[in-house]
Structure 1
Amino acid sequence: MNHLKLHSDLTQPAQIDSQTLPWLPSPAAGVMRKLLHRDGDEVAIATSLVRYAPGSKFDRHTHDMGEEFFVLEGEFADEYGRYPAGSYVRNPWGSSHAPFTDSGCIIFVKLRQLQAEDRQRRVLDTRATAWAPGPAAGIELIPLGAFDTEQTRLVKLAPAASLPCLGDQERQGGAEIFVISGELQQEQRRHGPGSWLRLLDGDQRQTISSAQGCSFWLKTGHLPPTSGARP
């Protein structure tokens, strides 16, 4: 893969329906990818969906700038454990592993996007974690990780619930969303399962709602300040 720049300007918004994207081969047999955001060649700053066929594996590799992933389907595994659907894993800078799967899986993964000072490995099975009340009725949260200004959470909206703001309105850093289930509405735009959004500072202050209910992965406070932020 040549050096690829795909939605690589973090000061620009992005909206992708991953269901419309093709699965592309990786260097490992049985491992396919949908590219959402990429800056680099095979070693890249990247946000992707990765699908492992049953019995497939990836050679041992080191994450020089860390990785985090959320298991969407099936069971992902490495020499440190097994991670069923609903698992969140955060591996810090310099960590390494040799991932595999017996039954097959799909993960949402972000590579080379953690801060060097964030040294703690985190593993959380959200299926065994209680949802906490959110900032308004019909909103529930599971904290996944936090460091400096960054916060990563699962968010669940009940039918007809709305979230007025995705983060502290006084704090810069934008927001990133991956819709897991249901349909999310951002102003007049609707986003179904598999939708990935990057929102600028101003956009994160827009109301997020769901007529039928939805759940989504949410990261805030990690993007550079933008001149395009709307008040």
Structure 2
Amino acid sequence: MYVNADFSQPVVIGPDDYQWVPSPQSGVERVMLDRLGGEKARATSIVRYAPKSIFPQHSHPGGEEIYVLSGTFSEGDRHYSAGSYLRNPPGSFHQPSSHEGAVIFVKLWQMKPDEKQRVHINTQVPSNWQQHGGRDICPLFSDGIETVILQRMQPGESLFTASVSSAEWLLISGQLKTPDQSFEPGTWMRLPAGFYLDITAGSQGAVVYLKTGHLPDMPEEA
């Protein structure tokens, strides 16, 4: 299965474009943002857990990256509220569930094979935020190639200050806009290399999950 598989083209999907597709597990649905492969695929998705839904324990040979958008997401007896960022490295396993229900942003099979460290960052904790280059950010992950941050933007502030080699963002709250379009929370955009200096925060500011430098030139089916 291929969904938005041409990485040389920009893609934008807003909440009004979401198409919820049942997963193999009852009570769990997903919006496929991009995908290369079947059930074991390089994939980016929004996943919705109904209350009291649970997945059987399973492994992630290619790793899994998660940002909790709402509700409480659980892995066994570990519980993660909205604003939690997780990286489960290649070869890890877990038993995901949600007692109250949850919506999460998920990326599969997009880590380097030698990544080993589990990451859990609660972005709601003020001490996890810092000023960097005059910008308010919460660092989530960096390996010298890929960088993942949460960025809190002031009204009118540009998302990018220079050209990017590749970028992907998910609007957590507030509004982003270009001269001819505005984006609401839940909007996801993937961008190839280029200049995107006209993406700015709206009048109320914005909080954005931002990943840069990570997109392959020619992705292969997982």
Runs of 4+ in 1 over 6 A off after TM superposition: none
State the Cα RMSD in Å.
Answer: 1.8
Q: Larger % of strand: which?
A: 2
User: Aligned residue for 1:190?
Assistant: 182
Q: What SS does structure 2 have at the residue aligned with 1:153?
A: strand
- In the alignment, the residues of structure 2 paired with residue 29 and residue 220 of structure 1 have an alpha-carbon distance, to the nearest angstrom, of 34
On the 8 A contact 1:46/1:112 being kept in 2, the answer is yes
Report how many aligned residue pairs link the two structures. Answer: 216
Question: Is 2:88 the partner of 1:91?
Answer: yes
1:210 aligns with 2:201: yes
Tell me, yes or no, if the aligned pair for 1:15 and 1:197 is still in contact at 8 Å.
Answer: yes
| 1:50-82 C-alpha deviation (Å, 9 max, x unpaired) | 000110001111111101010000000012611
Aligned to 1:40: 37
Give the TM-score normalised by the residue count of structure 2. 0.90
Contact 2:174–2:202 (8 Å) recurs in 1: no
1:11 partnered with 2:8: yes
| 1:159 alignment partner AA | P
Q: Does 1:165 align with 2:161?
A: yes
Tell me the SS of whatever aligns to 1:19. helix
The separation in 2 between residues aligned to 1:26 and 1:61, in whole angstroms, is 14
Residue 53 of structure 2 aligns to a residue in which SS? Answer: coil
Percent identity reads 40
**1:229 matched to which residue of 2?**
none
Aligned partner of 1:135 among 133, 136, 155: 133
Describe how 1:21-32 pairs up with structure 2 within 5 A. Answer: 21-32=18-29
2:152 corresponds to: 156
Matched, 1:71 2:68: yes
- The answer to whether the 8 Å contact 1:70/1:107 transfers is yes
The alpha-carbon deviation at position 164 of structure 1 amounts to 4.2
Gapped runs of 5+ residues in structure 1? Answer: 227-231
